[in-house]
Amino acid sequence: MGSGLSVGVLGATGAVGTEIVRLLADERWPISELSLYGSERSAGKSVSWRDLNKTIQIFDIDSHNVHDLVFIATNSQNSQQIAPTLTKRGTFVVDNTSAFRMAEDVPLVVPEINFDSIQPENRLIANPNCCTIILLMAVAPLRRFGKIKRVVVSTYQSASGAGREGMVELEESTRAYLKGEEFSPEVFPNDYAFNLFSHNTEIGADGYNGEETKMILETRKILNDKEIGVNPTCIRVPVLRSHSESITVEFEGDAPSESNVRECLGAFPGVQVIDDRAGNRFPMPNDSNGQGDVYVGRIRKDVSNPHAISLFVCGDQLLKGAALNAVQIGERLFGLNNN
Amino acid sequence: MGSGLSVGVLGATGAVGTEIVRLLADERWPISELSLYGSERSAGKSVSWRDLNKTIQIFDIDSHNVHDLVFIATNSQNSQQIAPTLTKRGTFVVDNTSAFRMAEDVPLVVPEINFDSIQPENRLIANPNCCTIILLMAVAPLRRFGKIKRVVVSTYQSASGAGREGMVELEESTRAYLKGEEFSPEVFPNDYAFNLFSHNTEIGADGYNGEETKMILETRKILNDKEIGVNPTCIRVPVLRSHSESITVEFEGDAPSESNVRECLGAFPGVQVIDDRAGNRFPMPNDSNGQGDVYVGRIRKDVSNPHAISLFVCGDQLLKGAALNAVQIGERLFGLNNN
């Protein structure tokens, strides 16, 4: 690696980009040059990183520095315009948008699960949807107990999925509600204060919204299992930055024992089990907020189906659901973490 | 009915009791005497009802007036002490607590579904758990499409399930959070501001909590179907007074069409369908808060199982989930509503 890596972050001032920059400050990253890019609105702003003050630049694809690695944390349209040019120059791109997730020649990676799906020639790696990552951190390890037939999952998604503006709108609308003041939502289509609503992505002909369709298709790609059934219901709840998911996993054969599931998940890197029945203590967003691990609990045999188990999962949407997973992909691409 | 009914409400100043008193003001109720009972803390307080000011009394089982009908909206222990004495005197009792719900000789009633389970000799009628009522308002009508094998349901439960104190704690803890102040929860075991957690009822040997076990057992009793499988996950979310539920219904045979389900539920009394895919408009707590009906949407075939459909439901926990269902039972007992 010689004099160190040249790394770029697109969307460096957004909710996810901010976390990527923070994670790249870890000393394991031998970065000689970090370039932070943002919109015209953010350009010129100063962001502290390690002991430096970095200025936000506007990314110019024609004159940019050749980076070893670029994280894209903007939007799909932006990624579609930029990523192919970068990879042609040999730059590794870890893309947090949905632009290339389902492209056949682009690996879609949760490092703990399918880092080995990356081929030597791949330069563009897609970071999965937040709900999919958090779901699969709990579900993928269970394949050791037999073929999984079907997953039924209901999400409790946080405002952070709509970026910093979404988090601010949740706080501001709640503040207004508590003061008895009117509030007109701009980021979300509905009032969010003490309310919840179906994920506001377009509904397909099958009645599933865009977020749910991502969970179905991305799960199949990541698990390399075209047959696995996924039935998601994606709901936004008034929580700031952790997604929770109520999950029922149906196996082809009999369900594993609760203790085997607990042991399996507890041993999986990036997963922590909180499953204290006597103390009635199970995962909550307040456990996972700001944490890199995904928390699993309520592990139990499904009383309605001998082939199924149920569990409840919480994970930080901005970290394992986005920035951390992307940075972990980068770490492995450059041999900085071989766990 | 002669000179009108003598009606008593126990727990008249609680969140549910307040709604019962309000609903009893409807002119369809030929009430000649309304007695409102509360704790020592509430005794002596004045509550307006119709054009009267009613004083909260302490209930004395030895010297009480003989009522035609008593609503119990206190707690199970209190109901166990009081209800049998009242019914021996011929008083009809509609019990909102869980004390007698699973007693074999006590009907457990959602009027639109199984009012006919009440026998002429019954004096004590149990009002089901709030989550169960809201679930079954959407699920029971679907039995016309064939035998239901299994229901998988994840709840998004409001603070009102823990009474007025629960609602106040959600607001107060959120206010403190937004001001950056510390808050020590007293009603709930966990911080509630922008957080969610597994329902804080005792966990049984099977890993299901008390709320979930109620949903399983009460569903079987109300539907008079000992075989139906129910797999509930009960989660409290930071919403004030409506419960939401993400429901997947598996039939023995093929699932009905989406349009048949929509038509069936839209025609069922007490249910309204909000299912606008083009406008991305589905039920939310803000729709059902303060409303008597249960709102159903996201009606779709389960892409992971040809025998199943999924839907999303919201209902006011204090109204159809408690007070309204109880008052509707009373209305039918006294022939005030034969719909």
User: CA of B235: which chain A residue's CA is closest?
Assistant: A246
Q: What are the tens digits of pLDDT across the range A287-320?
A: 999 999 999 999 999 999 999 999 999 999 999 9
CB atoms within 10 A of CB B33: 13
The Cα of B12 is separated from the nearest Cα of chain A by a number of Å equal to 26
Any CB–CB contact under 8 A between B286 and chain A? yes
CA distance A8 to A67: 6
Arithmetic mean of pLDDT, B241-264: 98
User: CA of B160: which chain A residue's CA is closest?
Assistant: A194
Residue B243 catalytic?
Answer: yes
Q: What are the tens digits of pLDDT across the range A309-318?
A: 999 999 999 9
User: In terms of domains, do B157 and B264 share one?
Assistant: yes
User: Which positions 223-242 of B are in contact with A (Cβ < 8 Å)?
Assistant: 229-231, 233, 235, 237-240
User: In terms of domains, do B102 and B147 share one?
Assistant: no
DSSP 8-state secondary structure symbol assigned to residue A336: S
pLDDT of residue A1: 45
CB atoms within 10 A of CB A123: 18
φ, ψ at A251 (rounded to 5°)? -95, 155
Q: Which residue has the tokens 């349009």?
A: B259
User: In terms of domains, do B105 and B241 share one?
Assistant: no
User: In terms of domains, do B202 and B162 share one?
Assistant: yes
Cβ–Cβ below 8 Å for A194 and B258 = no
Any CB–CB contact under 8 A between A61 and chain B? no
pLDDT of residue B1: 45
Arithmetic mean of pLDDT, B178-198: 98
Q: What are the tens digits of pLDDT across the range A185-221?
A: 999 999 999 999 999 999 999 999 999 999 999 999 9
**Nearest-by-Cβ selection for B237 from A156, A216, A302:** A156
pLDDT of residue B2: 55
pLDDT of residue B62: 83
> Is there a domain that residue A145 lies in?
yes
Q: Which of A256, A246, A238, A33 is nearest to A151 (CA)?
A: A246
User: In terms of domains, do A26 and A46 share one?
Assistant: yes
User: In terms of domains, do A216 and A328 share one?
Assistant: no
| Residue B293 clears pLDDT 90, i.e. is over it | yes
Q: What are the tens digits of pLDDT across the range A51-101?
A: 999 999 999 888 666 899 999 999 999 999 999 999 999 999 999 999 999
Say if CB B258 and CB B269 are below 8 A apart: no
Say if CB A167 and CB A159 are below 8 A apart: yes
The domain that contains B269 carries what CATH number? 3.30.360.10
The domain that contains B106 carries what CATH number? 3.40.50.720
A137, A235, A248, A301 from B302: Cα distances, Å: 23, 16, 14, 22
User: CA of B153: which chain A residue's CA is closest?
Assistant: A154
Half-sphere exposure of B95 (CA within 13 A, CB side): 29
Q: Across the beta sheet with B5-10, what order do the strands follow?
A: B31-37, B5-10, B69-72, B92-95, B124-126
> Is there a domain that residue A199 lies in?
yes
How, if at all, do strands A229-233 and A148-156 pair? parallel
> Is there a domain that residue A117 lies in?
yes
For chain A, how many structural domains are there in total?
2
User: In terms of domains, do A253 and A275 share one?
Assistant: yes
> Is there a domain that residue B339 lies in?
no
Coil, strand, or helix at residue B6? strand
CA distance B25 to B38: 18
A145, A177, A237, B23 from A180: Cα distances, Å: 53, 5, 21, 26
CB contacts < 8 Å between A and B, how many? 168
**Longest alpha-carbon distance in chain A:** 61
User: In terms of domains, do B212 and B287 share one?
Assistant: yes
Tell me the percentage of chain A whose pLDDT exceeds 90.
96
pLDDT of residue B338: 60
**Nearest-by-Cβ selection for A203 from B189, B246, B277:** B277
User: In terms of domains, do A88 and A196 share one?
Assistant: no
Cβ–Cβ below 8 Å for A174 and B171 = no
| Residue A339 clears pLDDT 60, i.e. is over it | no
ipTM: 0.96
Tokens of B40: 């020592």
> Is there a domain that residue A24 lies in?
yes
User: What's at B144, amino acid-wise?
Assistant: R
> Is there a domain that residue B269 lies in?
yes
Any CB–CB contact under 8 A between A174 and chain B? yes
A8, A203, B250 from A151: Cα distances, Å: 37, 20, 14
Any CB–CB contact under 8 A between B196 and chain A? yes
Any CB–CB contact under 8 A between B284 and chain A? yes
User: In terms of domains, do A164 and A305 share one?
Assistant: yes
Say if CB B220 and CB B141 are below 8 A apart: no
User: In terms of domains, do B165 and B283 share one?
Assistant: yes
Q: Domain range holding B67?
A: 5-127+322-333
> Is there a domain that residue B148 lies in?
yes
The Cα of A272 is separated from the nearest Cα of chain B by a number of Å equal to 17
CA distance B171 to B177: 10
CA distance B183 to B175: 9
User: In terms of domains, do B191 and B216 share one?
Assistant: yes
> Is there a domain that residue B338 lies in?
no
User: Which positions 241-260 of A are in contact with B (Cβ < 8 Å)?
Assistant: 244, 246, 248, 258
A250, B232, B293, B302 from A214: Cα distances, Å: 20, 25, 33, 15
Rounded to two decimals, what is the model's pTM? 0.97
